[in-house]
Structure 1
Amino acid sequence: MVHGGEEALMRQYAIGDEIGRGRFGTVRRCISNATGEALALKTTPKAPLRDPLDLALAEQEPKLHLLASSPPCSPHLVALHAAFDDADAVHLVVDLCAGGDLFTLLSARGGRLPEREAAGLAAQLASALAACHRRGVAHRDVKPDNLLFDAATGALKLADFGSAEWFGDGRRMSGLVGTPYYVAPEVVAGREYGEKVDVWSAGVVLYVMLSGTVPFYGATVPEIFEAVLRGNLRFPPRAFAGVSPEAKDLMRRMLCKDVSRRLSAEQVLRHPWIASCGSDAVAG
């Protein structure tokens, strides 16, 4: 899958304009010289990665992304087409999702979505996570910015495996990885953890879609982490006016501090609210 460095990349793909920028790298359009297919190129320079953990994650990203998205691939995962690695950077060629991301959609729609639409997106996210987890890959950075839309089909796709980790064979994970508002309490607490950290993050995404606000708020990162550790889940009447008891029940089961009682991604897909409102949105 890794095809050499930047010279090999330039032989195989025509590189276009920048279409996105993240914490460590850039995303540009590219065209396959062999097929003419429009794709996206994610480039992560190694020089800014001073933390050994960040560098290790960048270098293992191609392997874990390929493991999660290789055929038969979930239609709700951004697929990895090729990877190039050299002394200066890691370059990943992935699906081009030109329909924007969930963060942008929420911003354009006043911060929240109708319940049925939110259920459909939650079902697609749970389907993506279940596919990852079946292959022993935890995403560890589920948030609206990493949920992209396919412009042709409208399907939601989980992107950016830069924080992913393998948990196969019962291996436990560790390390403070993720985005403060979305990270699970066991991660903040510094304990070893499993793949259900992704379900917690997906629960926060669902809460945001239905209310336009985060469930655990703080003005600073330490305050956010304190709120996450308390895990005091509430549904303010003004923010949740009209949201069904079934939707609130699912969020309680996803945002459950007791990991043994927290739902798995597969169980989220079988929850009555998803089955009644969102199951039609899951492709494949």
Structure 2
Amino acid sequence: MDNYERVKAVGRGSYGVVHLYRCKSDGQQVVIKQITLDAITPQEAKMSHTEVKVLLMLQHPFIIQYHNSFQHDNAMMIVMEYAAGGNLHAYLQSRLPNNLLQEQDALELLSQLVVGLQHIHSCNILHRDLKTHNILLDRTQRKLKIGDFGISKILASKSKAHTVVGTPCYLSPELCQGKPYNQKSDIWALGCVLYELLSLNRAFHAETLPALILKITRGSFAPISGQYSAGMHALLQRLLHLDPAHRPSTNQIMADPVTLSSVIRLHVNMD
């Protein structure tokens, strides 16, 4: 840790405290997730190692970059890229009560998300906790990166994950019903994120967990604003389809007429 100077605490991730540090050798700001090994269960330790393994596999412009990991004072330290604009949840909350995003702005953020998620899925990885808290922004708050892979699952081909994990408001209907799921549960969570981009509120919320599960399994959510196009309304409905077989894949979302031009611009700028 001699090469790092602590700047401030920036929050908690899955199974770890997160601080902002400055690298003394080059002045670069990084985030270090500190996981005290004595304070966590073997299962939590396994999840921490999973995060490192996943981050090593995923090198992509729209995914938080992994720099290094090491053990220090009986703690695992995971060094990652710092996103200075905070998380998407805080950004959307700052726009309440009614400063809705323009459709093109929402599309630009959605397109980055889909391209990042497509890369994750192409590596046979499920994120399993995609939500606005885990989507991080740069200083301009126009570019995003997917983060917090603490409970991701690396899949064997055709595999389905049976463990119930994730944040309740983003759980898919099949997960609420105890059914196995694969990439289409990440697509449902993406639909929940899109709903928040368009409404500044969660698609599914309730006072109790049973009431929340009932809403999710019925697919009952308030309509989004009429300011958005029919194509955007239709895309949202497809992402939040109760039947996972009817939800589009990331490739199908990228090819949708609503998103296609934004996705093409992204790829041109990435090259």
Question: Could you state the TM-score of these two structures normalised by the residue count of structure 2?
Answer: 0.89
2:27 is matched by which residue type in structure 1?
G
Match of 1:262 in 2: 247
CA offsets, 1:75-107, max 9 Å, x none?
111010111246843321111101111111111
Aligned partner of residue 91 in structure 1, secondary structure: strand
Distance 2:229 2:44 in 1: 41
Aligned partner of residue 118 in structure 2, secondary structure: helix
CA offsets, 1:202-239, max 9 Å, x none?
1101111111222222112232122112223552xxx4
Identify the match of residue 273 of structure 1 among 258, 262, 269. 258
Identify the match of residue 172 of structure 1 among 149, 160, 165. 160
Contact 2:5–2:21 (CA under 8 A) maintained in structure 1: yes
Match of 1:244 in 2: 229
Distance 1:188 1:86, change over 3 A: farther
User: Is 121-130 or 108-117 further displaced after alignment?
Assistant: 108-117
Q: How far apart are 1:33 and its partner, in Å? A: 4.1
User: Is 129-138 or 104-113 further displaced after alignment?
Assistant: 104-113
Distance 1:49 1:185, change over 3 A: farther
Identify the match of residue 75 of structure 1 among 37, 41, 61. 61
Identify the match of residue 89 of structure 1 among 75, 95, 104. 75
Residue 60 in structure 1 maps to residue 50 in structure 2: yes
Q: Mind listing any 5+ residue stretches in structure 1 that lack a counterpart?
A: 1-9
Contact 1:120–1:280 (CA under 8 A) maintained in structure 2: no
Aligned length: 267
Contact 1:122–1:278 (CA under 8 A) maintained in structure 2: no
Contact 1:167–1:195 (CA under 8 A) maintained in structure 2: no
Identity of matched residues, %: 29
Q: After TM superposition, what 4+ stretches of structure 1 lie above 4 angstroms from structure 2?
A: 276-279
Distance 1:87 1:165, change over 3 A: farther
Distance 1:94 1:219, change over 3 A: same
2:75 is matched by which residue type in structure 1?
A
Identify the match of residue 102 of structure 1 among 70, 88, 94. 88
Q: How far apart are 1:25 and its partner, in Å? A: 2.5
Match of 1:225 in 2: 213
Match of 2:22 in 1: 31
Q: How far apart are 1:46 and its partner, in Å? A: 3.7
Alignment of 1:210-221 (within 5 A): 210-221=198-209
Distance 1:155 1:191, change over 3 A: same
Distance 1:187 1:47 in 2: 32
Distance 1:88 1:257, change over 3 A: farther
Distance 2:171 2:153 in 1: 15
Q: How far apart are 1:277 and its partner, in Å? A: 5.4
Match of 1:13 in 2: 4
Q: Mind listing any 5+ residue stretches in structure 2 that lack a counterpart?
A: none
Q: How far apart are 1:256 and its partner, in Å? A: 1.4
CA RMSD, 1 decimal: 2.3
Distance 1:57 1:99, change over 3 A: same
Aligned partner of residue 65 in structure 1, secondary structure: helix
Aligned partner of residue 89 in structure 2, secondary structure: helix
